[in-house]
Amino acid sequence: MAGDDAPGALERAARQHALRLLGRCAYTRAELKAKLAEKGLPASAIEAALLFVARCGYLNDVEVARREAERCFTEKGWGPYRVRERLRRRGLTSELIADVLAAYDEDKVRALCLAAAEKKARQLRPVGAGRVKARVWHYLARRGFPLDVIEWCLNRLPMEESETGTP
């Protein structure tokens, strides 16, 4: 291979590897850049590959962030703090994360939190109401819900008489 063609070959290899990776799952720009760097490709070839896949429409951080947030909220039952951390770890910017999370206003977060609280409370029966609420509180906090929303949910959590500790 001629020395003049080496940069072109590296760029082609970077593009092909990027396309193979994106064919399996959606990556953020930062994730794809790290994956390509793991292959030992030069920075210029990586940047060219990122530009190529972005121009083709295969690399879209906004769409990845929106889908990941939706999946974390609805399928995993996470709260906004945990979703924010997940998106940050995927290499997304603070501004993009804030824009995506803005779609989940307090009413939506409360509804998600209440659904998670009710589901967890059903799993914990039959124990006293105080123990149920304490366990649910810790569960929701670990899932990333704001404390004021957790308190709001616990005040609305239905408790049956058998859970209050009375016979």
Backbone φ and ψ for 105, nearest 5 degrees, come out as -70, 175
Q: Is there a contact between 14 and 36 (Cβ–Cβ < 8 Å)? A: yes
| Interior angle at CA 59, CA 56 and CA 63, nearest 5 | 120
Q: Which pLDDT tens digit goes with each residue over 33-89?
A: 999 999 999 999 999 999 999 999 999 999 999 999 999 999 999 999 999 999 999
Residues 113 and 159 in one domain: yes
Residues 114 and 143 in one domain: yes
pLDDT of residue 94: 96
State the residue for tokens 């940069």. Answer: 7
Residues 36 and 12 in one domain: yes
Residues 126 and 147 in one domain: yes
- % the chain with pLDDT above 70: 87
Statement: the pTM of the whole predicted model exceeds 0.85: no
Residues 127 and 150 in one domain: yes
Residues 94 and 138 in one domain: no
- % the chain with pLDDT above 90: 77
Domain that holds residue 45: 6-55
Residues 154 and 113 in one domain: yes
